[in-house]
Amino acid sequence: MVESPIKPIFVTNKQKALNQIVLGVDIGGTATKLSIVTEAGKILAKSSFPTHATDNQDPYPQRLLACAKNLLQRQEASAELLGVGIGAPGCDPERGYINYAVNLPFSSPFPIRLFFEENLCAHTELIKDSSAAALGEKMWGGARHMDHFAVLTLGTGLGSAWYLNGNLLTGAHQLAGELGHTVHIPGGRQCSCGQRGCLETYISASGLQRTLTALMADRITDSPLRELPEQQRSAQKITEAAQAGDPLAQEALQRCGQDLGEALAKIVLQIDPEGIFLAGGLAQAGPILLDTVQEHMDKNLLSPFRGKVTVAFSELGAGTAGTLGAAAQIFRTKKYSRVHPK
């Protein structure tokens, strides 16, 4: 653990401020999102900026800090900053570093926890983005009353987190939750990790795009999506087309739902959860996805498991789930506090 020069202050119940806030930071490959969150899960203010700089912009850490300070300075004077929770892919939560995330603007491991502790004088915790999603779902989402559940984040990639026996599963080396890189189809689609057939090449926003492209080659069905270049056939466009009745888009979503249903059945048979929550952009696809998922999950379960597992979209909302989850880790422990740095 990197030693912070700032010693956190322990807050007893007597000292507890009425107006405690947490800064939740969600670092994604496309956008970085920040929210000021209360213990009730209310978002008091939020902001975001593109993770990758355009010409002449400050380096990422400076842009991140400016955005954070700007948000915090707009809070009431009585507000007490309990801490900063950060969710990011490819990070080392124990040491507080962002490590090996290919889509982030760091050329070498960046000590992000220390950076926030030094610049905001605030207790800071770092967590894997998918683990943050699980904590948010437990604290304010559909998993509030559950002790055994899984969260899958269907974004550009496929993230996953397990919450079992009332605890987040981080694994023996803080690496748990790489379901996205388990092989779904041996010798299948090429994955950016170097393997072939990884689950995330089928079940994710980019997986859905690839499924549509494959169907375009295989089918002669007409579709307005054929008019668009590959990059513009986003998961959102495919979902909208499917909802408007486009058969090619509908088939792509159903294929994705079948793959996901089969994957969920394997999770259920192994860990026997109460619920599985789907977060991220693809979770906007609605019943056309969820109904297929449920059908194919049930088909692949032993009978004692059927009807016991809730499969649902995250209740936290696609745009803010990441920052809420990042903030949840601070409220969860609530051990430390710093005075609001205004």
Cα atoms in the Cβ-side hemisphere of radius 13 Å centred on 232: 6
Q: Which is nearer to a copy of itself, 32 or 131 (CB)?
A: 131
Q: How many CB atoms lie within 10 A of CB 29?
A: 16
Query: For a copy of itself, how many residues bind (rule: CB under 8 A)?
Result: 40
Which of residues 165, 187, 220, 245 is near a copy of itself by CB under 8 A? Answer: 165
Q: Does 195 bind a copy of itself (CB under 8 A)?
A: yes
334 Cβ contact list (under 8 Å, min separation 6): 11, 82
Q: Does 333 bind a copy of itself (CB under 8 A)?
A: no
Q: Which tokens in the block code for residue 229?
A: 């270049």
Q: Which tokens in the block code for residue 290?
A: 């969820």
Which of residues 97, 162, 313, 331 is near a copy of itself by CB under 8 A? Answer: 162
Least distance (Å) between residue 130 CB and a copy of itself? 12
263 vs 297: CA distance, rounded Å = 8
Check if the beta carbon of residue 137 is closer than 8 Å to that of residue 87. no
The whole-angstrom distance between residue 200's C-alpha and the CA centroid of its chain comes to 14
Task: Return the residues of window 12-71 that contact a copy of itself according to CB under 8 A.
Answer: none
Q: Would you call 160 exposed, middle or buried from its count of C-beta atoms within 10 A (0-12, 13-18, 19+)?
A: buried
Q: Does 193 bind a copy of itself (CB under 8 A)?
A: yes
Map residues 255-294 to x or -, x wherever contact with a copy of itself holds by CB under 8 A.
-------x--xx--xxxxxx--------------------
Q: Does 183 bind a copy of itself (CB under 8 A)?
A: yes
Q: Which tokens in the block code for residue 207?
A: 């997986």
Which chain residues interact with a copy of itself by CB under 8 A? 100, 146-148, 160, 162, 164-165, 167, 169-179, 181-183, 186, 193, 195, 262, 265-266, 269-274, 300, 302, 304-305, 308
